[in-house]
Amino acid sequence: MNDLERSSVRDLIDKKKKKKRGISQIAEKGMPAFFLLCAVVSILTTFGIIFTLVFETGQFFSQVSIIEFITSAEWYPMHNDPSFGIRPLIVGTLTIAVIAMCIAIPIGLASAIYLSEYASERSRKIIKPILEVLAGVPTIVYGFFALTFVTPILQEIIPGLAIYNALSPGIVVGIMIIPMIASLSEDAMSAVPNSMREGAFAMGATKFEVAIKVVLPAALSGVVASFVLAISRAIGETMIVTVAGGSNPTSTIDITNAVQTMTAYIVQISLGDAGYATTEYYSIYAVGMTLFLFTLLMNLTAYVISRRFREVY
């Protein structure tokens, strides 16, 4: 190869290097701006949602007393003499959530302990994905499962159980959130160092004692946070309670009869039962703000608990 050919090859290499360097410089300068734009869009979206809720809720409270909204025990927005007391919707929502947690916490925590402490690596790789499939089932499917399968079974066990009731959707909501508790709790337990387990075994502890008295307390922050997040998910569930829970707002706790949750009411009014810009229409924003405050409180609680009891290894 003569000098002219070497010079041509070198020039081509230099041009390619300059081109790559130019693309790299553009990426280095442009990508931070793109990432910042994404963060700003997320923040503005959040503020937009909060602004909409606050503004429309203000429209509702300009027509309805906030004292009535908080203290009244009746919720009949569509009657000739309407009543706007949020208590029945809160009672219905919390009833469903409590039933769900009574199902999800024992099963989810037991599943997490098994996956973390007892299952082999092969079993864990098979069981955990199957368990998490439950989280991918559409909630409308869960709703019809509760109405057409769970409720008839419960009616055989509990005479007088109404077709629409709180028990059936509460159980199915609990089934739906089991993967959340199991997965998050198992991740927290798996993060506990093996040295803590080996130390307990060296002192004569059994496998069950290690799991309950060593690993579980060490992973407490993650486990409790999974409980709180699951409660938040149960409170915000919509389609299961809409399909299987009925639409009877009541302040009495009766799991055998129909109830109405905050999300179910929002769905009912959103289907066109109330005209635009009416008091009934604005009531969905007041209910939505109440639901927003509940879920915000749950998430803040999970954050505080995870920070308060966090173990650093």
- Rounded mean pLDDT of 102-109? 93
Q: Which tokens in the block code for residue 50?
A: 């909060």
- Rounded mean pLDDT of 223-231? 87
DSSP 248: -
Q: Which pLDDT value is given to residue 77?
A: 80
Q: Which pLDDT value is given to residue 130?
A: 83
Contact 176, 134 (CB under 8 A): yes
Domains in the chain: boundaries = 3-62, 86-308
Q: Which fold has domain 86-308?
A: MetI-like fold (1.10.3720)
Binned at pLDDT 50, 70 and 90, residue 168 comes out as very high
Q: Which pLDDT value is given to residue 110?
A: 92
- Rounded mean pLDDT of 213-238? 86
Residue 142 phi/psi, 5° resolution?
A: -60, -40
- Rounded mean pLDDT of 36-46? 87
Q: Identify the residue with better confidence: 106 or 12.
A: 106
For residue 6, pLDDT beyond 60: no
∠ CA 153-175-230, nearest 5°, is 145
Mean pLDDT for the chain? Answer: 83
User: DSSP assignment of 141-209, as one string?
Assistant: HHHHHIIIIIHHHHHHHSTT--SS-SHHHHHHHHHHHHHHHHHHHHHHHHTS-HHHHHHHHHTT--HHH
Cα torsion for 188, 192, 197, 198, to the nearest 10°? 150
For residue 303, pLDDT beyond 80: no
Q: The whole model's pTM is what?
A: 0.82
For residue 5, pLDDT beyond 60: no
pLDDT tens digits, one per residue of 253-286 = 888 888 888 888 888 887 766 677 788 888 888 9
